[in-house]
Amino acid sequence: MATYRGKRKTPQRDAVRDAIAAAGRPLSAEEILAKARKEVPALGLATVYRHLRYLLDRKQVVTVEISGSTPRFEPAQLAHHHHFHCRECDRVYEIAECPFHGQPHAPPGFRVENHEVTLTGICERCARQVPGSRSS
């Protein structure tokens, strides 16, 4: 396979990178495709994934896993933060606070390199609404 090497500057690359950077929230692959197609209409989903993998390898983008949904992607250089997942509207929010001060604890011999915290519940927006009413 002609592996993606990132040696050239192309409109597709910029479109994918910009889509992720411009959104104020983590996007799914399909959402990135939709946004990037405003710049490059012929863009294919495979190309989005290729750039995604490249950006993940270079640690310019990180994956945000959401229970029961497809992965989302966000810029990696954001300040350290965690996520809040609203079970009502399915939105994911950034949470600035980190419960760890220093390295998280693990059993003897385990080397901790990273940590992820996800809070689940009802977001401020949904908390104000009548249960059962519409959302978006």
Partner DNA sequence: ATACTTGCAAAACATTTGCAGTGAG
Partner DNA sequence: CTCACTGCAAATGTTTTGCAAGTAT
Q: Does residue 24 belong to the site contacting a copy of itself (CB under 8 A)?
A: no
Q: CB of 96: closest distance to a copy of itself in angstroms?
A: 9
Q: Does residue 57 belong to the site contacting DNA (CB under 7 A)?
A: no
Contacts for 98 with CB less than 8 Å, ≥ 6 apart: 80, 81, 82, 117
Q: CB of 12: closest distance to DNA in angstroms?
A: 3
Q: Please calculate the CA angle 43-49-53 and round it to the nearest 5 degrees.
A: 135
Q: Does residue 104 belong to the site contacting DNA (CB under 7 A)?
A: no
> Exposed, middle or buried: residue 26 (CB in 10 Å: 0-12, 13-18, 19+)?
buried
In three-state secondary structure terms, 96 is: coil
Q: Does residue 77 belong to the site contacting a copy of itself (CB under 8 A)?
A: no
Q: CB of 110: closest distance to a copy of itself in angstroms?
A: 5
Nearer to DNA, 17 or 82 (CB): 17
Give the C-alpha separation, 53 to 44, whole Å: 15
Which residues of this protein are in contact with a copy of itself, per CB under 8 A?
Answer: 63, 65-68, 71, 84, 87, 93, 95, 97, 99-100, 104-124, 127-128
